[in-house]
A and B are shown apart, each in its own frame.
Chain A
Amino acid sequence: MERQAAYLRNALFDQGYLDEQFLQLEDLQDEANPHFVEEVVKLFYTDSVRLIQSIELTLKNTPWDFEKLDNIMHQFKGSSSSIGAKKVKKECSQFQEYCNVGNVEGCIREFQEVKQEHAALKRKLENYFQLAREAR
């Protein structure tokens, strides 16, 4: 179990889902806060839903408010980067670039990517945390 959890964790790093910021979170986990990483990730996913919904709402209104989209995505990116969500962060940056040039199609496409990466990481992390919990 432990080995499986460790394997899964390393895979996340190797495949570029997580970056060193995740290590920072792990360093913060201690006896006083044994589930710190999991708590923070849960917090992120709860809060990011709100941001995603906000973007979707903004995308529904035409003409597009690129500035607002950029602002929301900026928040989303900051949040993602704080937990080390590498791929999500990258897609966020890409989305912002499309926003800056007013590329509507690019934004729509990129937003799908963001959501996909966001969901994929969530699944993987949930698996990992479950394994890690069982391993303890």
Chain B
Amino acid sequence: MDLGVKSTPYTSSNASWKSAADAVPGRFPAGLKVLVVDDDPTCLRILEKMLKNCLYEVTTCNRAEVALNFLRDHKNGCDIVISDVHMPDMDGFKLLEHVGLEMDLPVIMMSADDSKQVVMKGVTHGACDYLIKPVRIEALKNIWQHVVRKKQHELKDKDLEHSGSVEEGDRQPKTYEDADCSHSANEGNWKNSKRRKDEEDEAEDRDDTSALKKPRVVWSVELHQQFVTAVNQLGIDKAVPKKILELMNVPGLTRENVASHLQKYRLYLRRLSGVSQHHNGLGSPFMGATDAQFVSMSSLNSVDLQALAASAHIPNHSLASIQAAALGRATSKSPIPLPLVDQRNIFNFENPKLRFGEGQNESSSKQVNLLHGVPMNMNSKQLSSLHQSALSNMNMHTHPQTSQSSSLMMQMAQLQPQLRPQNLNDIKGSRNGIEIISGPQYTSHPKPSTSADFTSQSKDFSGNKAFPLPCNSGMSGAVMKGSRAFLPNYDVLNNLNQSRNQEWRMQNAGSSFGLPQHSSIQRGLDVSSSLGESRILPANKASLSLVEGHGNTPNVSQHLNFPAYDKSLRSKAERLPGMGFQNGLLHERFGQEDLMSALLKQQQEGMVVPVETEFGYDGYQLDNLPV
């Protein structure tokens, strides 16, 4: 690692740095710390030189494990990671996941392989960019934007949390000299992050209550569990950062840390419920579930999910068992009365099954085969294995009620993939479910079939504090997300959405339900949305592997995922809203068969371009990290 970079500006005060930056605006990203991972020594050498020429600080690595250890040992030693896809010791996507989970750094993938599947895989795994080899220096010049963007999103979340509204840039004027000027705003962001890094380089991660600083708190599994426990104790409505902080009683943790984490958590819950991410307080209705409600709903699968959601700790196996139970119940149940439907709706995957009975299942399974082919088969196998593992490892951390619901939830999550075709075929049905979930207000609602409906529903959700399934918000959110995600499957954009939903789900699952849920749900989603999307499957597999672990290990991963995915997804999610609507509209137009044909058609047409542009797959410059 030779420091061939001018790091002086960054070690000096912000003011001097800023003035230096002002004097030479082109020098702004200089000093960005880049970690390059590539098993090809030729490429590594070339990249190193290119990044150094961009005035970045470069660290090179030819093995993924070494890179991970480096990142773990040097918390602030890196701003962005560039990794090759094909490496002998570890798959680049796996490294990408690890980095996203553990360090929450932006990761750029690169490969000589430019096939759409691989690029999409990068997107679904949370890569912030994908470079095609041979990499040109122009592509590396702008990679700093990923770092800035990420920081801006994180700060924005914090701002939202502080202001308690969806006001953006509320605090930015305070933080940045010129909020209007993107460059200086970037500089401001950059400055803050750099200042923070400089000051906290060797210091504790959690410190400083200044709103201008964003200490990088690593939300470990334990910490996140403490957080969730505190939130649940207070009740999502009353869960304010100050009280959460008091309950958590973690030295060194600031109110700001908790606030931003809470914001992300709320967004996560919202995503689970399929609500627009910009609805504050959405989490509240969902989290407002009471034990009484849980008890009354215990007879329903949805109740289990709620309980599971309430417990916020759903082991993988419990999830599987829930699914198994749900499956068992699904087959024996006849159409459920409306009040119950609400609950069922939450668990989209289950509702269709319950509603339509065996016939539907058959048709859906047919569709499933048609749609998913091999992936579905794999899914069912995975599901069955998950069921078995879940059933055999029913160590519910939650109380009996929740455990029961957990099993149901797991079942339901597993059912998701199977039910997806049904969902697709019967958008209305799933929508009904979603509508119902949102509360009585929606029962009389005509069945919307667009994503816009989802948005409006979500709005209602936020306003509906009497929502019966508050605690299930996590689970129901997952379910709803699943159903919503299903719809977009037939669209490339949908795939993106799904992957994002899945990622959100993973986050959520991690934070509230443990790995099992996530993996099963995600698998379902992956399968349904796979359609050749390799991106989702790996993510699911990753979650699956985590899920099928034992004890707290999966949960740990989940928790780690939560903040990491949260951030990466957040930035991506912000770009998705339009896509989500597109997806919904798209689905609206298609009937079941149309969807399938459209889906297949889209596959053939390879409508990946919009997705790619969505993520801005242009080259970015990487920082040169001293090796």
- Residues of A at the B interface (CB closer than 8 Å) are 21, 24-25, 27-28, 30, 32-33, 36, 39-40, 43-44, 47, 71, 74-75, 77-79, 81-84
Q: What are some 7 contacts across the A-B interface (CB < 8 A)?
A: A21-B134, A43-B45, A79-B40, A79-B43, A82-B46, A82-B133, A84-B134
Q: Are B137 and A78 in contact (CB under 8 A)?
A: no
The chain B residue sitting closest to A23, CB to CB, is B136
Q: How far is the CA of A82 from the CA of B53 in the complex (A)?
A: 17
Q: Are A82 and B43 in contact (CB under 8 A)?
A: yes
Point out the residues of chain A lying under 8 angstroms from B50, CB to CB. 24, 28
Q: How far is the CA of A27 from the CA of B53 in the complex (A)?
A: 10
Q: Could you say which of B42, B112, B113, B136 contacts A83, with CB atoms under 8 Å apart?
A: B42
The chain A residue sitting closest to B132, CB to CB, is A81
Point out the residues of chain A lying under 8 angstroms from B137, CB to CB. 24, 27-28
Closest CB in chain A relative to B624 CB, distance in Å:
12
Point out the residues of chain B lying under 8 angstroms from A27, CB to CB. 137
Q: Are B49 and A81 in contact (CB under 8 A)?
A: no
A43-B41, A71-B86 given as contacts; is B49 within 8 A of A82 (CB)?
no
Asked if B59 is at the interface (CB within 8 A of a chain A CB), the reply is: no
Q: How far is the CA of A28 from the CA of B135 in the complex (A)?
A: 13
Q: How far is the CA of A47 from the CA of B111 in the complex (A)?
A: 18
Point out the residues of chain B lying under 8 angstroms from A43, CB to CB. 41-42, 45
Q: How far is the CA of A77 from the CA of B112 in the complex (A)?
A: 8
How many contacts between A and B, using CB within 8 angstroms?
60
Q: Are B86 and A82 in contact (CB under 8 A)?
A: no
Point out the residues of chain B lying under 8 angstroms from A39, CB to CB. 45
Q: Are A40 and B46 in contact (CB under 8 A)?
A: yes
Secondary structure call for the A interface: helix
Q: A28-B137, A82-B135 are in contact. List 15 more A-B contacts (CB 8 A).
A: A24-B134, A24-B136, A24-B137, A25-B46, A27-B137, A28-B50, A33-B49, A43-B45, A44-B42, A74-B112, A74-B113, A75-B86, A81-B133, A82-B46, A84-B134
Q: Are A28 and B113 in contact (CB under 8 A)?
A: no
From 16 to 42 in chain B, residues with beta carbon under 8 angstroms from any chain A beta carbon are 39-42
Q: Are B49 and A79 in contact (CB under 8 A)?
A: no
Q: Are A78 and B46 in contact (CB under 8 A)?
A: no
Q: Are A47 and B42 in contact (CB under 8 A)?
A: yes
Q: Are B40 and A78 in contact (CB under 8 A)?
A: yes
Closest CB in chain B relative to A17 CB, distance in Å:
15
Q: How far is the CA of A47 from the CA of B43 in the complex (A)?
A: 11
Closest CB in chain B relative to A104 CB, distance in Å:
23
Q: Are A81 and B134 in contact (CB under 8 A)?
A: yes
Q: How far is the CA of A32 from the CA of B53 in the complex (A)?
A: 11
Q: List 4 tightest A-B contacts by C-beta distance, closest first.
A: A78-B112, A44-B42, A81-B134, A21-B134
From 72 to 89 in chain B, residues with beta carbon under 8 angstroms from any chain A beta carbon are 86
A28-B50, A39-B45, A40-B45 given as contacts; is B40 within 8 A of A82 (CB)?
yes
Q: Are A78 and B111 in contact (CB under 8 A)?
A: yes
From 301 to 320 in chain B, residues with beta carbon under 8 angstroms from any chain A beta carbon are none
The chain A residue sitting closest to B48, CB to CB, is A28
Closest CB in chain B relative to A112 CB, distance in Å:
22
The chain A residue sitting closest to B110, CB to CB, is A78
Q: How far is the CA of A24 from the CA of B135 in the complex (A)?
A: 9
Point out the residues of chain B lying under 8 angstroms from A47, CB to CB. 40-42
Q: How far is the CA of A77 from the CA of B86 in the complex (A)?
A: 12
Point out the residues of chain B lying under 8 angstroms from A32, CB to CB. 4
Point out the residues of chain A lying under 8 angstroms from B49, CB to CB. 28, 33, 36
Contact with A along B102-138 (1 / 0, CB 8 A): 0000000001110000000000000000000111110
Point out the residues of chain A lying under 8 angstroms from B134, CB to CB. 21, 24, 78, 81-82, 84
Q: Are B112 and A81 in contact (CB under 8 A)?
A: yes
Contact with A along B283-308 (1 / 0, CB 8 A): 00000000000000000000000000
Closest CB in chain B relative to A92 CB, distance in Å:
9
Q: How far is the CA of A107 from the CA of B134 in the complex (A)?
A: 24
From 552 to 609 in chain B, residues with beta carbon under 8 angstroms from any chain A beta carbon are none
Q: How far is the CA of A71 from the CA of B87 in the complex (A)?
A: 10
Q: Could you say which of B4, B42, B113 contacts A82, with CB atoms under 8 Å apart?
A: B42
Q: Are A40 and B86 in contact (CB under 8 A)?
A: no
Closest CB in chain A relative to B72 CB, distance in Å:
27
Point out the residues of chain B lying under 8 angstroms from A25, CB to CB. 46
Q: How far is the CA of A36 from the CA of B42 in the complex (A)?
A: 11
